[in-house]
Chain A
Amino acid sequence: MTRHLLSSADLSRSEVENILATAESMHDLQRREVKKVPTLRGRTVINFFFEDSTRTRSSFEIAGKWMSADTINLSAKGSSTSKGESLRDTAMTIDAMSVDALVIRHHASGACQQVSQWVRCSVINAGDGTHEHPTQALLDAYTLRSRLGDLDGKHVVIVGDLTHSRVFRSNVITLKTLGARVTVVAPPTLMPSGIATWSASDGFATSWDLDAVLGGDDPVDAVMMLRVQRERMSGGYFPTAREYTVGYGLTRDRLDRLVARNPEVLILHPGPMNRGLEIAPEAADSARSVVLDQVSAGVAVRMAVLYHLLAGNDADTPPREPGRAPDLETTPAVAALPSAAPQPEGVAR
């Protein structure tokens, strides 16, 4: 793993598995009464969000705080970069404050990759335009693995606005990295350009027909519904919300058919959901839905990413205070953590 996490393609299978293993330890920590560990004490993590976000920003913020990093949230929404400060100046200004990591959410594809070339700190992509969202793919993989086990050969279907989805772009990479089979479904107008050659070279399937995929010969282990923005209608991507739902929504009827074929099928959604558009409330709230598990996994996965980027191979972490438990830095192998301290029972996930 490099200094940065910019794209899901930066991670090999073993690196993904390492992060997910660490995330399991972190997830155990979430169930404790005292959630704070000193692992990143003295480190500074800036969450720089050029675009609105509730869950991703709070998830990164909690992850940093639970690891004792100094986390600072900056928001630059609405600042017109074309008229104001250049992206390079903004990035170098933050970097000059000697921060350790810069978590960036940006409305422009490639922004994190560009920033990474100008700064000394680690850069973590928290979603760049319609490009990628690698920690989302990791938390989705974490959620899937916690229910399905090894993802080798598992069939995951991703449905929705693929053109504008960074969740799709990162997920298709990470899922393939972990050996899953992926089918992506969208109307032709919401398929990214070049999808035919892209899917062929990267080894995933595409379809315009959701029912054919869900009812096909290849049983479905999980369905990931992507958010469809209503403003896409004005761009002429599809005629009406009603028509979209009939063609590509996870309706109650489709849910029933899915569960009838595979009672263990999982329903994912990165949020925020448009209930009634791409996902019926019955599907969102069904026993097969793991939407809240995804959110919960988000904190653990982001802790794991921060750990691997900032503390993983670094001997320069602050010394442990005796008697203060739990302490992640006692063992580089964080996976050993669950046995390191008694876990309170009955703490809600």
Chain B
Amino acid sequence: MTRLLVRGARILGGDPADLLVEDGVIREVGAMGAEGTGVEVIDADGLVALPGLVDLHVHLREPGREDAETIATGSAAAAVGGYTAVFAMANTSPVTDTAEAAERVLDLGRAAGLVDVVPVGAVTKGLEGAELAELGLMARSRAQVRVFSDDGRCVHDARLMRRALEYVKAFGGVISQHAQDPRLADATACCHEGELSGRLGLPGWPSVAEETIVARDVMLARHTGSRIHVAHVSTAGTVEVVRWAKAQGIDVTAEVTPHHLALTTDLLAGYDPVYKVNPPLRPQEDVEALRAALADGTIDVVATDHAPHARQDKEHTFVDAAFGMLGLETALAVVSDLMVRPGLLDWADVARVMSTAPARIGGLTGHGRALEPGSPANITLVDPDREVTVDAASSRSRSRNNPWHGRTFRGAVHTTIHRGTVTHSTDTTVMESAS
């Protein structure tokens, strides 16, 4: 029997308490006496305890592009970032559009053993946007897929989207939509359409390409009585649509990435492809609207859209370079620095947007639970006062497309506990004894 005692952590930022973990489950919470023998002790004085973080949106590149990331390296990065579960998007090669493919991702995640890797199923076969993938078989598989997405592409056909929304109701599924009308944002689009794209001569995405799809989809969700999740909201207009839809009682949830909360389109002035991402970085007005929407609950979730790329796929001209940036290891620090320090969120809110809500949306019962006796011991300890300066070279990811390199944030993950096992700690003595 393995026992772990977390001493004096402030649960959700509240008063200090001890957590006793046995066999992967939280047994006791409160003030405990001497630990006795055979107990691993983590001194959590000054640390905040959160339920293990859950990321609804990552790209782990396996199978297909193991040179950019594997399920193992992505899991390692996730553990560093405080995550205990991640949802791996379906746009791999081959695409996760069958039960077998989903189970393979699940098994590779279990083999890595650092976080729960939950496969997201494709909505359409091969992400082609033409025919529904075997949604039901993926749901019935060992992987128990509940989140479906063609992420990277928009489910553009309105009839197909309607059918997908209807169909997944039978097994409590949700469609996570990459909202981007391909007719308004063509294949060459590579940045926010605005004054800067005009000056730089780069083909842009208008904000409206996202907003019209979200508006359509919330109406389809109302019509079908189904759930819709809006992936990586990037514009103030989308926030307005989501806010309106929620007020109507439509079952819509929305996520925002750390980079859309923090970084703005003017970073593109030097044509550095590290800042090329889909949806694109937007102007400051959008960034502020997204922060406000996360604070007021219009946006439910922070998800990273962690998108590793091999170096050679980024060292092209801006229009030719791959989309995406790393995010797993830095998300908590960004949220701490940008949202908690200014008072827009408290630590209970962080637990909600980075653990409880994504676990609920994704149908995970073992994550996002209150830190109380009987809950699975998925715990993230955060040092709210530690300053971290991001160094791209030290990432556990296999890729280096890190837009945060050189930036300093206040608030950092201290220890990650996945099912009672320490999977990451900045306290090396803990890591050594845990391994």
Residues 139-197 of B contacting A (Cβ, < 8 Å): 193-197
Question: Does B199 lie at the interface of the complex (its beta carbon under 8 Å from any beta carbon of A)?
Answer: yes
Q: Could you mark each residue 96-113 of chain B with 1 if its beta carbon is under 8 Å from any beta carbon of chain A, else 0?
A: 000000000000000000
CB distance from A242 to the nearest CB of B (A): 26
Does A108 lie within 8 Å of B200, measured CB to CB?
A: no
Does B318 lie within 8 Å of A86, measured CB to CB?
A: no
Closest to A163 in B: B198
* Known A-B contacts A113-B270, A129-B201, A169-B201; A108 and B195 likewise in contact (beta carbons under 8 Å): no
Give the distance in Å from the alpha carbon of A99 to the alpha carbon of B317 in the complex.
Answer: 22
Does B315 lie within 8 Å of A108, measured CB to CB?
A: no
Does A110 lie within 8 Å of B271, measured CB to CB?
A: yes
Name the contact of A195 in the complex, choosing from B198, B315, B320 (C-beta under 8 A). Answer: B198
Does A109 lie within 8 Å of B204, measured CB to CB?
A: no
Question: Does B319 lie at the interface of the complex (its beta carbon under 8 Å from any beta carbon of A)?
Answer: yes
Does B199 lie within 8 Å of A106, measured CB to CB?
A: no
* Known A-B contacts A86-B312, A113-B271; A194 and B320 likewise in contact (beta carbons under 8 Å): no
* Known A-B contacts A193-B195, A194-B194, A198-B195; A109 and B316 likewise in contact (beta carbons under 8 Å): no
Q: Could you mark each residue 317-334 of chain A with 1 if its beta carbon is under 8 Å from any beta carbon of chain B, else 0?
A: 000000000000000000
Chain B residues near A128 (CB-CB < 8 A): 201
Chain B residues near A86 (CB-CB < 8 A): 312, 315-316
Give the distance in Å from the alpha carbon of A87 to the alpha carbon of B204 in the complex.
Answer: 22
Chain A residues near B312 (CB-CB < 8 A): 86
Q: Interface residue tally of chain A, by bracket?
A: 20 to 34
Does B201 lie within 8 Å of A81, measured CB to CB?
A: no
Does A194 lie within 8 Å of B197, measured CB to CB?
A: yes
Does B198 lie within 8 Å of A114, measured CB to CB?
A: no
Residues 182-229 of A contacting B (Cβ, < 8 Å): 192-195, 197-198
Chain B residues near A192 (CB-CB < 8 A): 197-199, 201
Give the distance in Å from the alpha carbon of A189 to the alpha carbon of B315 in the complex.
Answer: 32
Does B198 lie within 8 Å of A106, measured CB to CB?
A: no
Does A108 lie within 8 Å of B320, measured CB to CB?
A: yes
Question: Does B392 lie at the interface of the complex (its beta carbon under 8 Å from any beta carbon of A)?
Answer: no
Residues 311-332 of B contacting A (Cβ, < 8 Å): 312, 315-320
Chain B residues near A129 (CB-CB < 8 A): 201-202, 317, 319
- Using a Cβ–Cβ cut-off of 8 Å, how many residues does chain B contribute to the interface with A? 22
Name the contact of A114 in the complex, choosing from B196, B200, B317 (C-beta under 8 A). Answer: B317
Question: Does A4 lie at the interface of the complex (its beta carbon under 8 Å from any beta carbon of B)?
Answer: no
CB distance from A85 to the nearest CB of B (A): 9
CB distance from A263 to the nearest CB of B (A): 36
Question: Does A132 lie at the interface of the complex (its beta carbon under 8 Å from any beta carbon of B)?
Answer: yes
Among B201, B202, B271, B272: residue with most chain A CB under 10 A: B201
Give the distance in Å from the alpha carbon of A88 to the alpha carbon of B317 in the complex.
Answer: 9
Q: Could you mark each residue 243-258 of chain A with 1 if its beta carbon is under 8 Å from any beta carbon of chain B, else 0?
A: 0000000000000000
Question: Does A82 lie at the interface of the complex (its beta carbon under 8 Å from any beta carbon of B)?
Answer: yes
Does A194 lie within 8 Å of B316, measured CB to CB?
A: no
Chain A residues near B272 (CB-CB < 8 A): 114
Question: Does A181 lie at the interface of the complex (its beta carbon under 8 Å from any beta carbon of B)?
Answer: no
Closest to B202 in A: A109
Does B195 lie within 8 Å of A110, measured CB to CB?
A: no
Does A87 lie within 8 Å of B195, measured CB to CB?
A: no
Q: Could you mark each residue 154-195 of chain A with 1 if its beta carbon is under 8 Å from any beta carbon of chain B, else 0?
A: 000000000100100100000000000000000000001111
Question: Does A269 lie at the interface of the complex (its beta carbon under 8 Å from any beta carbon of B)?
Answer: no
* Known A-B contacts A109-B271, A193-B194, A194-B196; A114 and B318 likewise in contact (beta carbons under 8 Å): yes
Q: Could you mark each residue 257-278 of chain B with 1 if its beta carbon is under 8 Å from any beta carbon of chain A, else 0?
A: 0000000000000111000000
Chain B residues near A108 (CB-CB < 8 A): 317-320
Q: Could you mark each residue 70-98 of chain A with 1 if its beta carbon is under 8 Å from any beta carbon of chain B, else 0?
A: 00000000000110001111000000000
Q: Could you mark each residue 301-318 of chain B with 1 if its beta carbon is under 8 Å from any beta carbon of chain A, else 0?
A: 000000000001001111
CB distance from B299 to the nearest CB of A (A): 26
Question: Does A111 lie at the interface of the complex (its beta carbon under 8 Å from any beta carbon of B)?
Answer: yes
CB distance from B27 to the nearest CB of A (A): 54
* Known A-B contacts A130-B201, A192-B198, A198-B195; A110 and B316 likewise in contact (beta carbons under 8 Å): no
Name the contact of A198 in the complex, choosing from B198, B206, B317, B320 (C-beta under 8 A). Answer: B198
Does B198 lie within 8 Å of A193, measured CB to CB?
A: yes
Give the distance in Å from the alpha carbon of A87 to the alpha carbon of B202 in the complex.
Answer: 17
* Known A-B contacts A110-B271, A114-B271; A194 and B199 likewise in contact (beta carbons under 8 Å): yes
Chain B residues near A193 (CB-CB < 8 A): 193-195, 197-198, 204, 206
Does A132 lie within 8 Å of B318, measured CB to CB?
A: no
Residues 105-137 of A contacting B (Cβ, < 8 Å): 106, 108-111, 113-114, 128-132
Give the distance in Å from the alpha carbon of A125 to the alpha carbon of B224 in the complex.
Answer: 55
* Known A-B contacts A86-B312, A193-B193, A193-B204; A110 and B317 likewise in contact (beta carbons under 8 Å): yes
Known A-B contacts: A109-B271, A193-B193. Give 19 more (CB < 8 A): A86-B315, A87-B316, A108-B320, A109-B201, A110-B201, A110-B318, A113-B271, A114-B271, A114-B272, A131-B201, A169-B201, A192-B198, A192-B199, A193-B195, A193-B204, A194-B194, A194-B198, A194-B199, A198-B199
24 pairs, A vs B, C-beta closer than 8 Å? A81-B316, A81-B317, A82-B320, A106-B317, A108-B317, A108-B320, A109-B318, A110-B200, A110-B202, A110-B318, A111-B271, A114-B271, A114-B317, A114-B318, A130-B201, A163-B198, A169-B199, A169-B201, A192-B198, A193-B198, A194-B194, A194-B196, A198-B195, A198-B198
Q: Interface on A for B, CB 8 Å cutoff?
A: 81-82, 86-89, 106, 108-111, 113-114, 128-132, 163, 166, 169, 192-195, 197-198
